[in-house]
Amino acid sequence: MNFFLSYVILAEIFAIMALSTNFLVGVIGIFSVSQAALMGVGAYAYAVAAMAGLPFPVALLLALVLCAILNVLTSLPSLRLAGDYFVVTSFGIQLVATAVFINWSDVTGGVSGIAGIPAPSFFGVSTEEPRNFIVVTTLALIAAATGYALLMRSSYGRVLHAIRLDELAVVAAGRNVLRLKLGISAVSGAYAGLGGALYAIFLSFIDPSSFEIHVSVLILTMLVVGGARTLSGSIIGPFILLSIPQFMALVSLPPTMVGPARSLAYGVLLVAFMLLRPQGIAGRRL
């Protein structure tokens, strides 16, 4: 039972990450491959704040705000660089982040990471047990999904959509595209901060390997498989991809094969969807 709960909790956390990525990659077309780095910043920020004894809401808010600001700063180059070039920039940001997680050991604990990250209690009930924590992640996902839906249904959502389709035409209408893009980058960053903080709480242990480039690619794969620019796609994708390791556990592979086989399955899935169904399961082309 715990096995299944863990799967759902992780999938919910990654659904929040997929929504964060969807804002940038799907909605306004900033192709970022550094979302895991941002998730890491959220996780470390929460961990450090919580270990220092700050109450849960304060530590969480800290993670959200820090990630929002960082994402605005790291998205800035994309306002000058066209799509393909930003991928390279974003790749660099990811590598820098991993290097910082590993080397800023006074704060991050270096390669050994941070252990014993406390879970919050609500009304005297600890959320350390998965059956309690799942309530937190479910509520967080509902809030994130509602936020996404509200945003996309608003006039702001329409303008964002238009920026991806023809930025120059939006400028010609007198819109401040810079401000509009920075706004959505901040939201995307806050979502990543939320995902990172929940991840840190759930595992109670974080280290740099959890936020490497392959995790960014995994999140992108979730988005592609689920379907970019859709709410349901951002939720379906993580549930499908994270179920693969569960199924693989049914086949008794030698322990050394599990990791590579999982990566292979993710890769095959990404390529297959890109070729055969680029719009993903929920249906819109990236």
Partner 1 sequence: METLLDVGNVTRSFGGLRALDGCSFALRQGQVTCLVGPNGAGKTTVFDCITGFLKPDAGSIRLSGEPIAGLHRRDIVRRGIARSFQNLRLFEEMTVIDNVIVCLADETGNDPITAILRPFHSQAVLKRKTEQARAILETVGLLAKADHLVTAISFGQQKLLCIARVLATDAELLLLDEPTSGLGATALDTMVALIRRLSGLGKTLLVVEHNTRIVRDIADQVVFMHQGRVLAAGDPGDVLERRDLAEIYFGGGH
Q: Which residues bind partner 1 (CB under 8 A)?
A: 147, 150-151, 153-159, 161-162, 165-166, 168-176, 180, 183-184, 186-187
- Provide the 3-class DSSP secondary structure of residue 214: helix
Shortest distance, position 157 Cβ to partner 1, whole Å: 7
Q: Which two tokens stand for residue 165?
A: 């389709």
**Helices and strands: H and E segment counts in the chain:** 12, 4
Shortest distance, position 57 Cβ to partner 1, whole Å: 16
Question: Cα(first)–Cα(last) distance of the chain, in Å?
Answer: 36
Task: Decide whether 88 or 169 has the Cβ nearer to partner 1.
Answer: 169
Shortest distance, position 156 Cβ to partner 1, whole Å: 5
Where does 104-154 have alpha helices with state H? 105-108, 130-153
Q: Is 184 within 8 Å of 26 (Cβ atoms)?
A: no
Task: Decide whether 117 or 160 has the Cβ nearer to partner 1.
Answer: 160
Q: Which two tokens stand for residue 193?
A: 């901060």
Shortest distance, position 182 Cβ to partner 1, whole Å: 10
- Provide the 3-class DSSP secondary structure of residue 219: helix
Shortest distance, position 86 Cβ to partner 1, whole Å: 21
Task: Decide whether 110 or 283 has the Cβ nearer to partner 1.
Answer: 283
Q: Is 8 within 8 Å of 187 (Cβ atoms)?
A: no
Q: Which two tokens stand for residue 166?
A: 């023809």
Task: Decide whether 79 or 269 has the Cβ nearer to partner 1.
Answer: 79
Task: Decide whether 100 or 159 has the Cβ nearer to partner 1.
Answer: 159
Q: How far is CA 154 from CA 165, 175, 223, 233, 234, in A?
A: 17, 16, 22, 20, 19
- Please return the burial class of 137, using the count of CB atoms within 10 Å of its CB with bins 0-12, 13-18 and 19+: buried
Q: Is 171 within 8 Å of 45 (Cβ atoms)?
A: no
Shortest distance, position 200 Cβ to partner 1, whole Å: 24
Task: Decide whether 77 or 147 has the Cβ nearer to partner 1.
Answer: 147
Task: Decide whether 76 or 102 has the Cβ nearer to partner 1.
Answer: 76
Beta strand pairing call for 121-122 and 125-126: antiparallel
Angle between helices 56-75 and 177-203 (to 10 degrees): 140
Shortest distance, position 158 Cβ to partner 1, whole Å: 5
